[in-house]
Chains A and B, each alone.
Chain A
Amino acid sequence: MDMEHREATDGVLSPSDEAKLIDALRAGDGDAYAQLVRRYGGRLLAVTRRLLREEEDARDAVQEAFLSAFKAIDRFEGQARLSTWLHRIAVNAALMKLRSKRRRPETSIEELLPGFIEDGHMADPPQRWREGADTLLARRETREWVRGRIDELPDSHRTVLLLRDIEELDTTKVAELLDLSPGAVKTRLHRARQALRELLDRDLRGKQA
C-alpha cells in the first residue's frame, strides 16, 4: 500500500480541516500546536521507534521532528498531506539520530547471505518451512519475533529495509535520504531481505528439528 492510499484510509483530517489547522499553526495558536502533537505524535513515535532501538532516542527524534515542523510550517505548501510531510520529517530526524549514535558491533551481512559451491548450486539448500507466512501471521508473537530479527540486521541494511518495505518510501527518496545511488538502495534491500530470511530460517529450522 503506498503512502497516498494509506492516507486515504487512516482517518486523518479532511483537507479543509487540515487547511484550518495549518492556518491556526501559522497564526501561532498554541492550541493548534497541541492538537497537532496529540493527533500525529503517536504515529510519528511509531515511526521513530521502528528506526531507533532505544525508546529515549525515539522520543527525542519525535520532539526534534515536531520542532523542525513548527519552524517550517510557513513553507508547507500543501502538495503533500500534512501526515506525509510530518512522516518524512520524522524519518529524517530518526536518521540524524541514528547517524549521531556510535555504531554498535554488528554482524556482517555476508554471513547472512546464501553460500554457493563452485558449480553455482547452493551450499546449504533451504528446507521447506513447516508453517507458511499465513500461519505465522495469525500468531500474536510473530510481530515481536520478526521485529527482533530485523533489529539484528546491520544498520546499513536494516535502515534500507525499514524505509522501503515498512515506511514505504520509494527507492529514489531512500537514496536521497541515505546519500546512496538508487542501485545501491536496491542491492541493500535485496541483501537485507535475504539476510532476514536466513535469520527467520534459523529459528524455524530450530523449531522443526
Chain B
Amino acid sequence: MISCRDFVDFLMRYLDRELPAEERADFEQHIADCPPCHVYLAQYEDTVRLEKQICPDPEGELSEEVPEELVAAILAARQRSVRGS
C-alpha cells in the first residue's frame, strides 16, 4: 500500500510509465481509493497541458516577425566581425 506522499513523489514516473508493473498496480489502486489523490492527478495533468500550450503553434511562431531593427543590428554586428577578422 502506498501513501499520498509516495503517490505525489512517484506521480511523474507513473505518468511516464517508468514504474514496474507491481508498483503501477499499487499506484492505480491508490488512485481508485483516494479521492484527493485522484483530484491531484487530474490537476497535475491539466497543469502540464496548460503550460505546454504557452508555446503557440510552430507555424505561427515561424511567421512571427523579427523586428527590423534587430535584423539590422545582427547584420551590422556580422559586418563588424567580418571586417575585424
Chain A interface residues toward B at CB < 8 A: 6, 9-12, 28, 30, 33-34, 37-38, 40-46, 50, 59, 62-63, 66-67, 70-71, 114, 116, 119-122, 125-129, 132-133, 136-137, 142-143, 146-147, 150, 161, 165-166, 186, 189-190, 193-194, 196-197, 200-201
> Looking at the complex, which one of B6, B45, B64 makes contact with A42 (CB distance below 8 Å)?
B64
Contacts A63-B70, A67-B78, A125-B36; A196 near B3 (Cβ below 8 A): no
Looking at the assembled complex, report how far the CB atom of A207 sits from the nearest CB atom of chain B, in whole angstroms: 14
> Looking at the complex, which one of A30, A67, A161, A197 makes contact with B77 (CB distance below 8 Å)?
A67
Measured as residues with beta carbon below 8 angstroms from the partner, the interface class of chain B is: 35 or more
Chain B interface residues toward A at CB < 8 A: 3-6, 8, 11-12, 35-37, 39-40, 42-56, 58-59, 61-67, 70-71, 73-75, 77-78, 81-82
Tell me whether B40 and A137 are in contact (CB under 8 A). Answer: no
Tell me whether A129 and B46 are in contact (CB under 8 A). Answer: yes
Tell me whether A165 and B36 are in contact (CB under 8 A). Answer: no
Looking at the assembled complex, report how far the CB atom of B31 sits from the nearest CB atom of chain A, in whole angstroms: 13
The secondary-structure label for the interface of chain A is helix
A66 to B78, CA, bound (A): 9
